[in-house]
Structure 1
């Protein structure tokens, strides 16, 4: 097969020959129709985010396509099934081997191509919110980076679960985030999100904050949080180190959580198989009912992955997901 590969960190991606994937025990081979670009892909291409031990070094954390081979020990899936899949790597290719426990059916009403935008965002959002208490009346959730792939999914899911949603986003994406259900759009360049959140909640603060920024946002998130609220850090685009006054955490009785998806084991407690099962049970009905939907900002050919990375990393990055299609 062929895949987009590098000669070394920072080198351009090239469409070159790669070993054909083989379905091991419990795995299937998927003929890829589309994959999606994630921030982690840009980090891996730059040499800062290597794949977990034993996983494909081909970039790509999700895909959609058709099963072309089923390995031993696989139940419930057959050749010809249209699926989307959560990957630890290998999405920027013609085919990929993936554990069957990391497959999801394409939701009714979503095209096979667009389904490539779902696995990473849906699984990330679900793991970030699944332990959050049911929202009280008028509860506010704050989502940072609401126009991104994860943020656009989070706004929809939290709205469907009964939260009022505030989100930080550049001003040019405010119409988008409002269309997804966000009540409040905050221009992070010119507005103080702490002040906006407190004004919108009569000084109570947000019950739940999903943070993709990290760095100095941690202390600001604590200041914006309601008593007994929860902060979940799901990325650190603004830096991996933060300083916090522990008294502030104690005084506000903060629950501080952090999570990652790629390095989770395939199986076992808290593994990807569990996450996939929960996402299929909890979020797939919302997709099929039209309460949430993938948000696609741009589509490029898979062979144009370098241009897609530049687009995501640039000042004019579109809202939603960037798809790479075969």
Structure 2
């Protein structure tokens, strides 16, 4: 453990030591997606306090804990991954029944987001034990925050698209009908195939987040049709873990259509109702239509 994390661990106990951490509880703990300094003080304190740590990969987690000075014997590390999650959940529940505190961590980021953990959480809840989440790093929100995506209707998280080409193409066809922003994940050995599939989306913008929070982090925005060429320009661009933000689809400009619909609806309906219906009919922004409606009312 470096001296810097020794200070962090001390600060964690000072900051979170007085908080209540109930027994017989599963603590779902977010861990860094790359930069070790992104761990929260609360996470450090809880990882030091729990009786056992359930994890996606015991060797990976042991290295992570060791970096923070939280080395644990192998008996306190429980393997809970996609191949044994249902069975391993019963082991965790048995420990909770004995009054233990158990933390669950995935290999990186927030558990149960395209990672194991959801079945474990569901089983623990079904057994009537408490699940306490500790928020922290997430590749999804990290990529969104740097994308400049300004869609008013939120976003959709799709994770990994199917690996088989036919299924992947059908999934992309469905994305073409989705007007909201979409967050995708991809591994380096499949990123070229995904880029080719997404290229049919033409001018729709995609923000590529590669190796987020790590030394060689890269964040670029290109059009869907330019993505394969961008990846091919430099071999390094195909390395690392990827998060892609497919920006929300631009609404086609209509020649006064929103104004025309408002002029028809406002005499018959309350302002907010007229704006809502006009937005649904024309696909225009509610905020823009609301401003137009106010102007019409004043006129």
Q: Give the alignment's TM-score, normalised by structure 1.
A: 0.29
Q: Which of these two proteins has the greater Rg computed from alpha carbons? A: 2
More strand by share: 1
- Structure of higher RCO (CA pairs closer than 8 Å, 6+ residues apart): 1
More helix by share: 2
